[in-house]
Amino acid sequence: MPYAFILSVVGLLCSPVSAAAFPRVVDGDTLELNGIVYRLHGIDAPEAGQKCSKPNGKSWDCGKAAISALEELILGKAVECDDRGQDGYGRTIAVCNVSGDDVNAKMVATGHAWAFRKYSTDYADLEDQAHNSHIGIWITDNQTAPWDYRAQQWTLGQQEAPDGCPIKGNISENGHIYHTPWSPWYKKTKVNVDEGERWFCDEAEAIKAGWRAPYWGR
């Protein structure tokens, strides 16, 4: 998920905001705990609908694999997350731990996420090690980074969306949910303006209007 519009400076001393609790996975780098949505600090996982390439030229669902990896790390376990400020989407930037183990670090070390060097180099060494070991997303060297994938899908979505605003605000039995162009369900989602559905120009606008991102985890 995007990690832009950081509003607070990430510090070394970060106050804990969540006691141990059982979370739910939103996507490969985002989880919800005690009603708070946490964006994992310093990493960027493949988007839910993103595919990566294999050495034989075929593709694999690296986005789904990242979600499964995060589920394996945290589901049914007591998780603690600190508070490093919020991003422009109201999510709390955090390092989350299970039994003292850094979940963010494990996602990078196992090749299920990139080190998000634009914002932090905390996990750069772990990324280099995973890259050198050719595991996970590093099984080949020509993978598309999630920030580039989002940019590509955004451009494609703008070409077909009204007024160049490509986010689809959908209303269903699950509530008001918005789909970005990199959502796996994006092409299948229709916007019925007559029923109150609408288009958004950015995620912050959608969130402010009362829509939420979909949950891709279990």
Backbone angles phi, psi at 37, to 5 degrees: -90, 125
Report pLDDT for 21: 60
Residue of 171, 149, 162, 218 whose CA lies nearest to 2: 149
Report pLDDT for 134: 96
Q: Work out the number of other CB atoms within 10 angstroms of the CB of residue 125.
A: 13
Compute the distance between CA of residue 41 and CA of residue 142 in angstroms, rounded to an integer.
24
Report pLDDT for 7: 36
Q: Where are the domains of the chain?
A: 24-143, 147-208
Report pLDDT for 68: 97
CATH fold of 24-143: OB fold (Dihydrolipoamide Acetyltransferase, E2P) (2.40.50)
Q: What is the pTM of this model?
A: 0.86
Cβ proximity of 38 and 94 under 8 Å: yes
Give the ranges where the chain is alpha helix by DSSP (H). Answer: 62-74, 103-109, 124-133, 146-160, 203-208
Report pLDDT for 2: 57
Cβ proximity of 191 and 163 under 8 Å: no
Cβ proximity of 138 and 131 under 8 Å: yes
Cβ proximity of 91 and 204 under 8 Å: no
Helix (H, G, I), strand (E, B) or coil at 160: helix
Report pLDDT for 13: 38
Report pLDDT for 12: 35
List, for the chain, all residue ranges whose pLDDT scores fall below the cut of 50.
4-15, 17-19
What b/e string do you get for 85-99 counting C-beta neighbours within 10 Å, with b at 16 or more? ebbebebbbbbbbbe
Cβ proximity of 5 and 202 under 8 Å: no
